[in-house]
Amino acid sequence: MPRSPRVRRPALLLASTLALSATVSGCGFLGIGGDEPGDIQVYSARHYDLEDAFVEFEEETGLKVDFIFGDDAELLERLKSEGDESPADMFVTVDAGNLWNAEEQGVLQPVDSQVLKDSIPAEYRDPGNEWFGLALRARTIAYNPDNVDPADFDTEDTYAGLTDPKWKGRLCMRDSTEAYTQSLVASLIDLHGRERTKEIVQGWLDNDVDIMSNDIELLEAVDAGTCDVAIVNHYYYARELDEKPDLNVKLFWASQDGAGTHVNISGAGITESSDAPKKAQRLLEWLASDGQKAFVGGNHEYPVNPDVAPDDVIAGFGDFTPMPVDAKAYGSLNPEATELLAEVGYE
């Protein structure tokens, strides 16, 4: 029996695919050849236009930055298992709890820098100087102005005020697997204690809150009027507004007569295993000062550096008082927050 052509043809296809791929990617995918490695290597759980910021940094300083974007928890495990051999010099992540956890796990090293101390208010950086907040996001109220009079919101504790029966059947919120929800609840536990927070979450559920799986969906539901009130990150609102100027949604700054609106930070630290800590420090300092606009701009976030003005879109939302960020509390209370959500049956 001669070798039949039917075996050969797929083999040929396969071989040509491989050859083509190898040519196009310059064999880079095999880990041989490819580009020269950069001066600073970054693991980042944040992507928003970070590439542009790094290009800007390279133009200013001549230092080339390589970065991998991935999931917070997974990149942290990668860092840990790579240990001393990790190529990463910097770890960028998107939640105060994650920053605190990275420090707890011992993957970061302290940085003594006057520039960082001058640029970042003390509440947004680690007292031990292992991590530094770089951008702020607020989680507040979005409402449909046709159906809601903003005077109806409880200005002292807006999040707890949503447990009032007048909001029954009118609320939309994010699911319990989302870090935003967990961190908001953790901050409420920090503020009110576990029992009171449990009552609040139970109150949302009693009001038949409609739970959704992303913030854009929440905003679209408010816009469509299938929900009257939602809790969202301010920058998703800014982005939707960019795309649809006639969006029928307004923002309300929560708890302005009380503890302030819930905010969280994105930030970075230099890894314990870094073989270029000085260069990485230079990048970190740049991100906290000259690079602030490049770091936050693409995503409509608030700069942590008080000398840098927020972009025009979010400046139009007006000033607000943020709830103080306690990374240690957010981090250490996060497990309790997830447990509490499960306990009352918030999915």
Partner 1 sequence: MTVTAAPVPGPRTRARRGAGSGRPAWSFVTFLVALVVASPVIAVVVDGVLNGREATMPRGLGGMVVTTLLLMTGVGLGTLVVGGGLAWLVTAYRFPGRDVLVWLLVLPLAMPAYILGFVFLSTFDAAGPVQSLLRDVLGDAVAFSVRSLPGAIVVMSLSLFPYVYLMARAALVEQSPTTYDAARSLGAGRRRAFWRVVVPLARPSLAAGLAIVMMEVLTDFATVQYFGVKTVSVGVYLVWKGSYDFHAATQISALVLVFAVAVLAGERLMRGRARFTQRGGRGAGLPAERLTGAHGWAATLACLLALAAGFVVPVIRLVGWAVAEARADPEAFVDERFGEYLANSLAVAAIAATGCVLLSLVMSHAVRIGGGRVVGSAASVTTFGYAVPGAVVGIGVLLVFAWADRALEALGVPNGTGLLVTGSVLGILYAYLVRFLAPAYQAVDASFAKIAPSMTLSAMSLGAGPLGVLSRVHLPLVRPGVAVALVLVTIDAIKELPIVLLLRPFGFTTVAVWVYQLAAENFWQKAALPALVIVAAATVPVYVLFRQIRATDRRDARER
Site for partner 1, residues 203 to 242, rule: CB under 8 A: 210-217, 220-221, 223-224, 226-227, 236, 239
User: Would you say 244 and 149 are in contact if contact means Cβ atoms under 8 Å apart?
Assistant: no
Residue ranges in 36-65 that form contacts with partner 1 under rule CB under 8 A: 37-38, 41, 47-48
Distances (CA, A) of 15 to 5, 28, 33, 89: 15, 18, 21, 38
- Is 96:183 a contact under the CB 8 Å cutoff? yes
Q: What track of x and - describes contact with partner 1 for positions 165 through 204 (by CB under 8 A)?
A: ----------xxx-x--x----------------------
Bridge partners, residue 271, by sequence: 108
User: Smallest gap, in angstroms, from Cβ of residue 114 to partner 1?
Assistant: 31
Beta strands in 15-109 (DSSP E): 40-44, 65-69, 90-93, 108-109
Whether residue 171 contacts residue 162, with contact meaning beta carbons closer than 8 Å, is answered with yes
* Neighbouring C-beta atoms of residue 246, cutoff 10 Å: 6
CB 171 within 8 A of CB 339: no
Closest CA to 302 of 152, 135, 89: 135
Burial letters 191-214, b for 16+ CB under 10 A, else e: bbeeeebbebbbbbbebebebbee
Distance CA 175, CA 162 (A): 17
The single residue among 33, 83, 106, 150 that binds partner 1, judged by CB under 8 A, is: 83
Among 111-119, 252-260, 320-328, 335-343, the segment contacting partner 1 (CB under 8 A):
335-343
**What gap in Å lies between CA 227 and CA 246, rounded to an integer?**
17
Rounded least distance, CB 214 to partner 1, Å: 6
Stretch that binds partner 1, among 34-42, 135-143, 284-292, 318-326 (CB under 8 A): 34-42
Burial class (CB in 10 A: 0-12, 13-18, 19+), 129: middle
Per-residue binding string, partner 1, 98-137, x by CB under 8 A, is: ---x--x---------------------------------
Residue ranges in 241-280 that form contacts with partner 1 under rule CB under 8 A? 243
Nearer CB in complex with partner 1: 124/236: 236
- Per rule CB under 8 A, is residue 152 in the interface with partner 1? no
Of 235 and 317, which CB lies nearer to partner 1 in the complex structure?
235
Output 78 or 293, the one with its CB closest to partner 1: 78
**For partner 1, the closer CB: 118 or 339:** 339
- 124 belongs to an annotated ligand binding site: no
d(CA 72, CA 44): 8
Q: Is 338 in the site for partner 1 (CB under 8 A)?
A: yes
| Binding piece for partner 1, criterion CB under 8 A, among 22-30, 261-269, 282-290, 316-324 | 22-30
Q: Which stretch binds partner 1 (CB under 8 A): 35-43, 118-126, 143-151, 198-206?
A: 35-43
Annotated binding site: 47, 235-236
Annotated binding site for Fe cation: 47, 235-236
